[in-house]
A and B are shown apart, each in its own frame.
Chain A
Amino acid sequence: MTTFADGVLHTHRELDDMLGRRWRKPRFVKRPWLRWVLGLGFLAYLIASYTTVEVNWNRVYEGLERGWKFVIAFASPDFFSRSSDIWDGMVESVIMTVAASVVGIAISIPIGLGAARNIAPLPVYLICRGIVAVSRALQEIIVAILLVAIFGFGPLAGFLTLSFATIGFLSKLLAEDIEAMDKVQAEAVRASGSSWLQWINYGVQPQVMPRLIGLSMYRIDINFRESAILGLVGAGGIGATLNTAFDRYEYDTAAAILILIIVVVMALEYLSGIIRAKVQ
């Protein structure tokens, strides 16, 4: 009996030795020094930023009441008292979105082809990548400010802004998709003695088409969302109406516009989901 008890005791100790320390969750950042540096640096940053951000809490407290009014306004949006302004703004936004998406997609296809390393020669590749980089680095609103200064107020500036932004987005993703395509199919078409255009049309296009359609739908969605803010700088669209509504503290009208934007975006998202499912 004692031996047995000893044995149990013994194996237990062995188990302890085998297991060693108690199991602990593995850390997300494995190197300890890096973990400490990141953690302490982050803490220092938080303290520094917290002390430099000036918050006027009294103003915030006073604002809570207005915020509550806005929440109430969301429950009873006013679509009617400014319906003609809202309607004009929405139509202009939609028009800018459609026109800019068509032009942007049409231009971004050749640029996307040129920005794919496996089908474009080096000089073309560099030029197209340069265009993509510039378009991506400049934000819509800044481009809109410059274009409004150049072309004057109105939807033309917004249309050009959105087209320009579409080029950067779509060309980059299209080029990445072309670079990741299956070479074998393209080579097979080329081996049949096709011209360059036929090669692109039959060897490359069918492979990237589903993704191009999906991305275009996504971009239309983004363009609509962006068209809502271009009005803030005078580039047309619903943004101007929205800005006026905020300036006049007409929260119920502003809420109506925001609800409309959300509804259109949701509808576009739903539509693009259907189209993408159909294409793929």
Chain B
Amino acid sequence: MPVSDNNGFAVWRKRSNRQALVLWTGWLIGFAVFMYCWQRISEATTWFFVWDAPRIANDIWTRATPPRWEYITQLGRPIWDTLNIATMGTLIALCLAVPVAFLAARNTTPSRLFIRPIALLIIVSTRSINSLIWALLLIAIIGPGVFAGIVAIAIRSIGFCAKLLYEAIEEIDATQVEAVTATGASRWQVMAYGIVPQIMPAFAGIAVFRWDINIRESTVLGLVGAGGIGLQLSASLNVLAWPQVSLILLVILAAVVISEWVSAKVRGAII
């Protein structure tokens, strides 16, 4: 315990001189890095626009209110498309994530040396790239439309689902698997009766959780042309139809809140 000597009295201190110095240096470096970053941002900014921002914000607000309510009749199909992108994307992702997760989990992988790293690479690479980027790529490859959105969401979700699922598989109770193996069950029977029942609740939870996130993500996929309500948003933004933009934003907000509510309810029922 660091103690400083104050005229013969021992006084308790939180840190020794050395620790305090290290901490102080750390803060100094952190602060310097932050200031450097801020300076770079500041250089790249047109400050005239920033000082003008309150007026612009006010201007946009007056243009955007009230929302153009009658436009909602044209939003039915885009919302349906958005829902399809999220749901179909999640389903495809789950089908692909299950084998990847089994290959990536330490206790079920056929080969730790060769197959597990490949499965982990799939998980990391699909997870670190945003669905909008996947959508951009897929639009360049297979053309714009709902299908590109579905595939983008599916690819993006594989990594997320597989990661959570393989962690669940690694945490299973080994004694149950051993008991099933001891009855002379084949590899697939061990899988079906020893492992799957243990990860089923986790699987259902992950599926609903990811579906909720995918609803959010699919609402903006249209910005790059991958179908759904984002297409309407981008079209309205391009023609500066602010009353339509505000209505679409309200609809997106409602969709997000509803999907979060549904997913919370379902997860509450499962767990």
Contact = CB atoms under 8 A, between A and B. Distances in A.
Interface stretch (A14-22, A77-85, A145-153, A188-196): A145-153
Interface in B207-231: 216-217, 219-220, 223-224
Contact of B220 (A28, A142, A228, A261): A142
Q: How large is the interface on A (under 10, 10 to 19, 20 to 34, 35 or more residues)?
A: 35 or more
Interface string A135-172: 00111011001100111101110010000000000000
Interface string B44-73: 111001100100110010000000000000
Interface stretch (B98-106, B142-150, B167-175, B176-184): B142-150
A225 B130 contact: yes
Contact of A66 (B80, B140, B193): B140
B44 A155 contact: yes
Interface residues of B, number: 58
Q: Which of the listed residues B140, B150, B197 has the most CB atoms from chain A within 10 Å of its own CB?
A: B140
B141 A63 contact: yes
A37 interface: no
B133 A242 contact: yes
Interface string B81-93: 1011001100000
B249 A156 contact: no
Contacts of B224: 232
Interface in B115-141: 124-125, 127-130, 132-133, 136-137, 140-141
B136 A246 contact: yes
A59 B140 CA distance: 11
A265 interface: yes
A158 B222 CA distance: 20
Interface in A100-152: 102, 137-139, 141-142, 145-146, 149-152
Interface in A245-280: 246-247, 249, 254, 258, 261-262, 265-266, 269
A60 B142 contact: yes
A98 B233 CA distance: 30
A99 B219 CA distance: 28
B150 A53 contact: yes
Interface stretch (B3-11, B17-25, B250-258): B250-258
Given A54-B146, A60-B142, A150 B128 contact: no
B44 A154 contact: yes
The SS class assigned to the B binding surface is helix
B33 interface: yes
B41 A49 contact: no
A261 to B, nearest CB: 6
Contacts of A55: 145-147
A54 B57 contact: no
B142 A59 contact: yes
A108 B129 CA distance: 26
Interface string B23-51: 00000001001100110111011100110
A269 B136 CA distance: 25
A95 B142 contact: no
B237 interface: yes
Given A53-B88, A63-B142, A139-B220, A262 B34 contact: no
Contacts of B216: 139
Interface of B: 30, 33-34, 37-38, 40-42, 44-46, 49-50, 53, 56-57, 60, 80-81, 83-84, 87-88, 124-125, 127-130, 132-133, 136-137, 140-143, 145-147, 150, 193, 197, 200, 204, 216-217, 219-220, 223-224, 233, 237, 249, 252-253, 256-257
8 contacts: A25-B193, A53-B150, A55-B146, A59-B142, A63-B142, A98-B34, A155-B45, A232-B223
In order of increasing CB-CB distance, the 4 nearest A-B pairs are: A152-B49, A265-B128, A63-B142, A99-B37
Interface of A: 25, 28, 45, 49, 52-56, 59-60, 63, 66-67, 70, 91-92, 95-96, 98-99, 102, 137-139, 141-142, 145-146, 149-152, 154-156, 159, 225-226, 228-229, 232-233, 236, 239, 242-243, 246-247, 249, 254, 258, 261-262, 265-266, 269
Given A56-B145, A63-B142, A151-B50, 16 more contacts: A53-B147, A55-B145, A56-B147, A67-B141, A92-B44, A98-B34, A137-B256, A137-B257, A142-B233, A150-B57, A154-B44, A154-B46, A156-B50, A228-B130, A236-B44, A242-B136
